[in-house]
Structure 1
Amino acid sequence: MRHDELRLFLDQMLGAEAGEPFGPEATVYKVRAKMFALLSRRHGRDYVTLKAQPHDGEVLTEQFTDITPGYHMNKRHWITIYYNGDVEDSLIQDLCEQSYKLVVSQLTKTEQRALGLIQ
């Protein structure tokens, strides 16, 4: 996985907007002003930080070397995934979708309707 590949994937999510509120070294993806993904680089490795259910985050950090508690985030609700390690690209994409869904589920019905997610 590379940042450009993941950006293409994230750009397809309804209402997803990318920005650089922390400067050019970090790309933040939000839906309705709520962050669901952060792409950056640390110690020479690219990574993505995603929202996760606390239990899922615990299991994933135990199973994979390249999934850690969220870097510079609430360690209970966020995970960081380093690319090109022991995490397959398809799992990274699945976790991105789960992060997006977690954030969208916290939006009001009006906001979800505006995105076309419910009728």
Structure 2
Amino acid sequence: MRYGWLDEYCLSKKAAEKDFKVEWNATRYLIGGKMFLMQGGDKNKKAIATMKCEPTFGQLLREKYEHIIPGYYMNKEHWNSVYLEGDVSDDILKQMIDMSYELVLNSLSKKKIQEIMEGKSEEV
């Protein structure tokens, strides 16, 4: 995989968590229990990472880069997949990860966002 920094970068996000979804054979990166990035493979087992993007920005990226496609097995308007052996620059991929994290974070409740920003964790 070309983007060896991907795991560390995703986990460097405040309160980011990682799990592995066996039935999808995919690693997920979550904030507040919601996924902001999924790393797995397509039907041909080619490595991909799928992230949420603003629809207009995602469309622009898909038009510019052949290795960015509508979200694989996701909502095609809001999610985009990047082939990890492709030609997308590190900067663009990081921008996509940052956007996905922010979009998912901001979709959480105000209380949950406040807990994350203050570094509080839920007592179990």
**Aligned pairs for 1:53-64 within 5 A:** 53-64=54-65
- Structure 1 unaligned residues grouped into runs of 5+: none
Residue 42 of structure 2 is aligned to residue 28 of structure 1 = no
Aligned equivalent of 1:12: 12
Instruction: Please name the residue that 1:109 is paired with.
Output: 110
What does residue 92 of structure 1 align with? 93
Matched, 1:40 2:46: no
Opposite residue 39 of structure 1, the aligned amino acid is Q
CA distance in 1, matches of 2:80, 2:54: 9
Residues 53 and 24 of structure 1, relative CA distance in 2, 3 Å threshold: closer
CA apart distance, 1:86:
2.2
Determine the C-alpha separation between the residues in 1 that align with 2:33 and 2:88: 28
What secondary structure sits across from 2:47 in the alignment?
Answer: strand
- Count of residues paired in the alignment: 116
- Pairwise CA RMSD: 1.6
State the identity %. 30
Residue number in structure 2 paired with 1:66 = 67
Which deviates more, 57-66 or 22-31? 22-31
Q: Aligned with 2:21: secondary structure?
A: coil
Q: Which stretches of structure 1, 4 residues or more, deviate above 4 A after TM superposition?
A: none
